[in-house]
Amino acid sequence: MANTEETVVRMNLLRRHKQTAGAMAADITSQFDEVYRAYLRPVYAFVAFRVGNRAAAEDITAQVFEKAWRGYPRFDPRKAAISTWLFTIARNSLTDHYRSAGRKTDEVELPDDLGAGAESDPVPRLEALELRRELNAALTSLEPRELEIVSLKFGGAMTNRDISTLLQISESNVGTILYRSLKKMKTRIEGGIKND
Per-domain boundaries in the chain? 40-195
The CATH class for the domain spanning 40-195 reads mainly alpha
Q: Mean pLDDT for the chain? A: 79
Q: Which long-range contacts (CB under 8 A, 24 or more apart) does 85-91 make?
A: 86/35, 86/39, 86/43, 87/43, 87/46, 87/152, 87/156, 87/158, 87/162, 87/166, 88/166, 89/64, 90/43, 90/46, 90/47, 90/60, 90/61, 90/64, 90/156, 91/148, 91/166
The pLDDT value recorded for residue 118 is 45
Nearest-angstrom CA–CA distance, 31 and 12? 28
In the 8-state DSSP scheme, what is residue 132?
H
- Per-residue confidence (pLDDT) for residue 115, from 0 to 100: 44
User: Is residue 5 predicted with pLDDT exceeding 70?
Assistant: no
Question: Tens digits of per-residue pLDDT, 168-195?
Answer: 999 999 999 999 999 998 888 887 655 4
* pLDDT above 90: residue 141: no
Mean pLDDT is highest, among 9-18, 96-105, 115-124, 131-140, for 131-140
What are the phi and psi torsion angles at 79 (to 5°)? Answer: -90, -35
**Rounded to the nearest 5°, which phi and psi values hold at 148?**
-65, -45
In tens, the pLDDT along 151-168 reads 899 888 899 999 999 999
Lowest mean pLDDT, pick from 21-35, 44-58, 100-114, 126-140: 100-114
* 66 phi, psi to nearest 5 deg: -65, -45
pLDDT of residue 179: 95
Q: Count of CB atoms within 10 A of residue 61's CB?
A: 22
Q: What is the pLDDT of residues 83-128, one digit of tens each?
A: 899 999 999 999 999 888 775 544 455 444 444 444 566 777 777 7
